[in-house]
Amino acid sequence: MKVLVFAAFFSAVFPLGLFLYILRQVLRMRRRRENISPITLFYLSLLFWDVVQGMAWTISIQWIQTGRIVIGQSCVAQAILKQFDAIGTSLSIVAMSWCIFHDYVIESNDILTSRVGYIGIGLILTAQAMIIMLPNIILGGAYNYYGISE
C-alpha cells in the first residue's frame, strides 16, 4: 500500500508539471489568436484527470497510518475524486477518439476548430456534475460513494 501511495504522489506531480507547461503554451496561442487543436484540449483534460487520480490515491496515506479504512469525509472525498477521474478520463477518450476518427478516417474537408474542444470539455464537465450530483440530490444525501470498509 505504501508503494501505491508513493506512485500516486508521482502520478499527481509529474502530469501536473506537464499540464501546466502545455496550458501555458495554449494560453500563449490564444493570445496570438492561433487555432488550438481540440486534441490538445482533450490531452490537457486527460492530464488533469490523471492529476485528480493521483490526488485520490494520495488520500490513502491516512489509512496507512491508522492501519484500516474508516468511513468518513476522507473516504467520501476519495470516492468522489475517483469517480470524477474515471468519468472524465473515459469521456475525454471518447471525445478525442471522435475527433481523430472525424479527421483521419472520414477525412473530412472542414477544419475542426478549438470550439469543438471547448464544447467537448464543457459537455464532459456537465455530464460529470450530473452523474455525481444527481444521485446525491435525489436520495437526499444518502448516496453511498464509497465501497467496502469497516
Domain range summary for the chain, segments of one domain joined by +: 2-138
pLDDT at residue 94, rounded to an integer: 82
**Residue 19 pLDDT greater than 80, yes or no:** yes
- Average per-residue pLDDT for the chain: 77
Any idea what the Cα angle at residue 106 is, between residues 103 and 108, rounded to 5°? 60
pLDDT at residue 115, rounded to an integer: 67
| Mean pLDDT for the stretch of residues 46-60 | 84
pTM score, two decimals? 0.71
For residue range 106-149, list pLDDT tens digits in order.
666 555 555 677 777 788 878 877 877 777 677 665 555 554 44
DSSP 102: I
pLDDT at residue 143, rounded to an integer: 55
Q: Which of 27-36, 58-67, 136-145 has the lowest mean pLDDT?
A: 136-145
Instruction: Give dist(CA 81, CA 56) in Å, integer.
Output: 6
The pair phi, psi for residue 123, each rounded to 5°, is -65, -40
